[in-house]
Amino acid sequence: MTMQFKIYKEPELKDPYMVTGLPGVGYVAKLSADYLIKELKAELFEEFYSSSFPPYVLIKKDGTVELLKNELYYWKDDKLKNDLIIFTGNTQAISPEGQYEISNEVLNRAEKFKVKKLFATAAYVTGRHVEKPKVYGVATEQELVEELKKYEVLPMDAGSISGTNGLLFGLAKLRKIQSICLLSETPGYMTPSGRVLTDVKSAQALLEVLSKMLDIKIDMKPLEKEAKMAEEFVQKMEELERRWAEEMRRSVTPPPKDIYI
């Protein structure tokens, strides 16, 4: 595995917290991290490129290309208490080894900036639609589990958290970084072509808790608007994707045809 790091800035940060959120089911974690970045006008300071990312590039609206990458943003706290580092990206490593390696790179940064607490975000797939998604929490220490109750975060007592979102949270413990993982309910519905819908409502529930824990104020209105737009968009998409799925079935790259072994 090879990684490339593109450093734009070396910020000086005061007792920073770290929030992490990569794309996963319902894009709950990714939406939460993105919304924080947008509302706080957080600044990009480093990008990761890795050969463990999926082997493709994205096409942007303006016709230019976007590489798959993970990103680190920072925000200076107005109240001079706890600055913020936000880790997100447009992809996750596809191999387990890549997910471990990237988690460790992020935690190297957490140690370097002396992060006081790490807040990982994730989705809690329930398989059913809910009016008001509940937020669950797990922590690296018993003391933090108690603290979660103050924010009406529901405790968990079994299961597993997978992917980079879960590893980042868990591996923090090995480095003695206090860490909390917030998981927000999402149905995990898929479109007919196998795409999981973006769940803005779930991200909203998560952000309400997270903003209280970080003691920052963010305007939830734009997210609500986005939630509505997302739902309309999703309906249009579904129709398009149903047609695509039909066509794609005939166009998968074939395996090499070996006849002598």
> Of 12, 41, 60, 79, which one interacts with its own copies (CB under 8 A)?
60
Q: How far apart are CA 135 and CA 206, in angstroms?
A: 6
161 or 210, CB closer to its own copies?
A: 161
What are φ and ψ of residue 110, in 5° steps? -60, -40
- Enumerate residues 6+ apart whose C-beta is below 8 A from 104: 171
Residue 83 Cβ, how far from its own copies at the closest point, in Å? 25
Residues 36 to 55: which contact its own copies by CB under 8 A? 49-55
Residue 204 Cβ, how far from its own copies at the closest point, in Å? 18
Adjacent-strand bridge partners of 4: 49
The stretch near its own copies (CB under 8 A) out of 32-40, 72-80, 165-173, 207-215 is 165-173
x-marked contacts with its own copies along 180-199 as a string, rule CB under 8 A: -x-x---xxxx--xxxx---
71 or 77, CB closer to its own copies?
A: 71
15 or 193, CB closer to its own copies?
A: 193
Residue 216 Cβ, how far from its own copies at the closest point, in Å? 25
Tokens coding 231? 């739902």
> Of 41, 78, 131, 260, which one interacts with its own copies (CB under 8 A)?
260
80 or 158, CB closer to its own copies?
A: 158
40 or 93, CB closer to its own copies?
A: 93
What are φ and ψ of residue 53, in 5° steps? -75, 165
Does 236 sit near its own copies (CB under 8 A)? Answer: no
Q: How far apart are CA 198 and CA 2, in angstroms?
A: 31
Helical ranges in 113-141 per DSSP H:
none
Does 130 sit near its own copies (CB under 8 A)? Answer: no
**Neighbouring C-alpha atoms within 13 Å toward the C-beta of 237:** 15
Residues 19 to 38: which contact its own copies by CB under 8 A? 24-25
8 A C-beta contact, residue 197 and residue 236: no
The one-character DSSP state at 255 is: P
Residue 253 Cβ, how far from its own copies at the closest point, in Å? 6
Does 126 sit near its own copies (CB under 8 A)? Answer: yes
16 or 187, CB closer to its own copies?
A: 187
39 or 165, CB closer to its own copies?
A: 165
Does 220 sit near its own copies (CB under 8 A)? Answer: no
> Of 157, 221, 232, 236, which one interacts with its own copies (CB under 8 A)?
157
Question: Residue 196, SS3?
Answer: strand
Does 7 sit near its own copies (CB under 8 A)? Answer: no
Q: How far apart are CA 165 and CA 119, in angstroms?
A: 10
Q: How far apart are CA 206 and CA 33, in angstroms?
A: 10
Count CB-CB contacts under 10 A for residue 73: 22
Question: Residue 102, SS3?
Answer: helix
